[in-house]
Amino acid sequence: MLYKSTYNSPLGKITMASECENLIGLWIEGQKYFLSSIKSEMTTNDNLPIFINTKSWLDKYFSGKQPKITEIPLSPQGSEFQKNVWEILCKIPYGKTTTYGEIAQEIAKQKGLKKMSAQAVGGAVGHNPISIIIPCHRVIGSNGNLTGYAGGIDKKIKLLKLEKAI
């Protein structure tokens, strides 16, 4: 059974989804691909420990603290390629950024390939089902531009400013 809960953040309403013990989704309301990884009905349950812990994590994050990604058990649903990209996103330090190209180079190196498409990486980054906690907002264009963010560029800017990355 899938469960959901909401959180009122400085960016707007956030919807969370879980399979009881693991967080499988976290979306800013209205963002691109909102609830796209959810294929069945969800039941609201604000009292699940995963939601209580996630809300506490978000409280810390939005107050300027640096909670660790590992504090929340995550189980994002996606292809092996997407999961590989999302694992790399989790390694981007708080307050730092990387580029789609740098992630593509890392994946190419891991797979023993000559190169990997930065556009393919961008597609995986954009479909990240656990926004903010899996920090896709820390990925920027190779020229330093704040390109793409499923939640909107305005929200990406707010998150990067909160982290003092820009």
pLDDT digits (tens, 9 = 90+) for 66-89: 999 999 999 999 999 999 999 999
pLDDT at 166: 87
What is the set of domains in the chain, with CATH numbers? 2-71 (3.30.160.70), 80-162 (1.10.10.10)
Mean pLDDT of 86-115: 96
Split at pLDDT 50, 70, 90, the class of 35 is low
Strand ranges, E, within 2-156: 2-9, 12-18, 23-28, 42-44, 98-99, 139-140
* Active site annotation includes 136: yes
Residues 6+ apart with CB under 8 A from 21: 49, 50, 73
For residue 36, what pLDDT band results from cuts at 50, 70 and 90? low
For residue 115, give every residue at least 6 positions away whose Cβ sits within 8 Å of its Cβ, in sequence order, or none: 104, 105, 108
The pTM assigned to this predicted structure is 0.93
> Which is catalytic among the residues 14, 88, 89, 136?
136
Q: What is the pLDDT of residue 6?
A: 96
Mean pLDDT taken over the chain? 92
Owner of token pair 């039941």? 43
User: Stretch 6-25: mean pLDDT, rounded?
Assistant: 94
